[in-house]
Chain A
Amino acid sequence: MNDIAARPPQLPTDLSRPFWEAALEGRLVLQQCANCGVLRHYPRLLCSHCHSEAVSWREASRRGRIHSWTVAHHPFHPSFRAEVPYTLVTIDLEEGPRTLGRWVGDTPVLGEPVLGRFERRDDGVDLVFERA
């Protein structure tokens, strides 16, 4: 096993490329239906409300609340072996959709307010949250 295994790659698709480009600039953007205005995440082809393909991108506040969390103790991928244990949080974003992120802080509590930021890594970015 390679001691310096690469992390699983962040591979943008045609649908998600604006998300990743903004993330590299430190901005969290969400798809917004250009027809009916409903926000959605993760990126997908159609608005499930009005079935329009027309989409714009809206910058989100990166503010939200803890929905749930876990602490990864076992590294299921070799690139995380040196990092365990690490905490993953599921966040209710202020704008409505959710996101997953890494957590900096002691044990998260459901409902507590958080603020996220993108942190650069070798091949991309991590979305990292801490208490607001």
Chain B
Amino acid sequence: MSLSDRSCITGIGETAYTRNSTRSAFQLQIEASLKAIADAGLSPRAIDGVIPIGIVSGTADDFIENFGIPDLRFSAVIPHGGASPVMALQAAAAAIAAGICHHVLITFGRNISAMAGNNKAGARIHNMPQFHYVTEFEHPMGASAPAQLYAPMARRHMALYGTTVEHFGEVAVACRAHAILNGNALMTKPITLEDHRASRMIADPFRLLDCSLESDGGAAVVVSSAQAALDARHRRVFISGVAAGHPDSPGSITQRPDITSLGIAKAAPRAFAMAGVTHDDIDVAEIYDCFTYAVIRQIEDMGFCKRGEGGPFVSGGRLRLGGALPTNTHGGLLSQAHVWGLNHVVELTRQLRGDGGAAQVADAEVGLVTGYGDLGDGALAILRRE
């Protein structure tokens, strides 16, 4: 039984993305969830499946209690960081196709500013069990944060394939240009390739403008059965293909046979085959952008170009609106906000509904969204509008 086109994203919701929010992570998560449920035209009590992303705020039980859900039939925990939202689409589509439930809420909320003493990435990840190798063997020597852990991947890619600072800059500039059009983005000042190059070094080769934001906010989507989606408020946006994949040695980049390989390389052929589309059919892409380099590598590993050609591929404005592969039309994690990439799922849905506003890709019919978690876990979904 294929999951293709058996379910639809019927509701999307986001809070304002800010820094120093005075609302708790759970308040932000609930606000985004209620918006997504209302957007789908549902009562909160109609939710019969819930996947809280990362359990950094509410649990499934919290949603039963607060929404008064009479019969929650499905819940799941997906422990793969920023790959979790797209992996949650897979879990929701599977649960719905199996007839377990009808409306799955996928929801995230975070208030980093309120995480006293533990609010920086370099400290935060070490509370997550999937980072235990890093915590024991790398953190004590000073490889603490994702920027420091991913930098050797990027350095090797540069050495092997000639990828350049300008290639990274192209990704940063494209995301910023799109964020400016969004209306709910943290970063609103235009940047150039020169600004990117001049930004301070964080972990060579990553500069400040290669790194994603730290932000407070919530995002949520509702996935419904294709049948139930007929009664929703918006045009149906189908989950046509979805797949997940993990790199070898997922718990340690250092020990990975090929440190430049990502889990999405295994997932991409499955998702394209399930959706029955080719790369040329993708009108718009929302690609997990924890770092600029991660966008370049995912583009290669998904087969948009060959390995090593991702740098030239992203050059010349190809990722910009009007380019061949408009990417991160909301600004992404680099320039809109960091809510583990659930904002990427929201934005792709908006694009396929035709509600992309100033950043709308003309006649967008088929789009792709990726997730990238922890040290290289990957997932992608191909969505299609009716």
Contacts and interface: CB of A to CB of B under 8 A. Distances in A.
Please determine whether chains A and B interact with each other in the same assembly.
yes
Interface string B194-238: 000000111111000000000000000000000000000000000
A73 to B, nearest CB: 4
Contacts of B201: 71, 73-74, 85
Contacts of B252: 42
Interface in B114-153: 120-123, 126, 133, 135-145, 147-148, 151-153
A99 B252 CA distance: 10
B136 A68 contact: no
Contact of A76 (B140, B144, B152, B205): B144
Interface of B: 120-123, 126, 133, 135-145, 147-148, 151-153, 155-156, 159-160, 200-205, 252, 254-255, 259
Q: Which 4 A-B pairs have the closest CB atoms?
A: A76-B122, A70-B151, A68-B152, A76-B145
Interface of A: 7-13, 16, 41-42, 67-74, 76-77, 80, 83, 85-86, 88, 90, 97-102, 110, 124, 126-127
Contacts of A88: 141-143, 148, 152
A71 B255 contact: no
Nearest to B138: A100
B147 A77 contact: no
28 contacts: A8-B135, A8-B139, A8-B140, A8-B144, A10-B140, A11-B136, A67-B156, A67-B259, A68-B153, A68-B155, A69-B155, A70-B152, A72-B142, A72-B143, A72-B203, A73-B204, A74-B147, A74-B202, A76-B120, A76-B145, A76-B147, A77-B139, A77-B142, A83-B142, A99-B254, A100-B138, A101-B141, A110-B160
Contacts of A98: 254-255
Contacts of A101: 141
B142 A13 contact: no
A47 B145 CA distance: 29
Contacts of B156: 67-68, 110
Point out which of B121, B136, B156 has the most chain A C-beta atoms below 10 A from its C-beta: B136
A75 B90 CA distance: 37
Given A10-B140, A100-B141, A126-B141, A70 B155 contact: yes
Given A73-B204, A74-B202, A126-B141, 4 more contacts: A68-B153, A76-B122, A88-B143, A110-B156
A31 B138 CA distance: 18
Contacts of B123: 76-77
A69 B137 contact: no
Given A9-B140, A126-B141, A70 B133 contact: no
Contact of A77 (B144, B160, B254, B255): B144
Contacts of A73: 200-204
B155 A102 contact: no
Contacts of A67: 152, 156, 259
Contacts of B135: 8
Contact of B126 (A8, A10, A72, A74): A8
A127 B141 contact: yes
A100 B203 contact: no
A5 to B, nearest CB: 11
B142 A42 contact: no
A13 B138 contact: no
A102 B141 CA distance: 7
Contacts of A99: 254
Given A16-B136, A67-B259, A90 B144 contact: no
Nearest to A71: B204
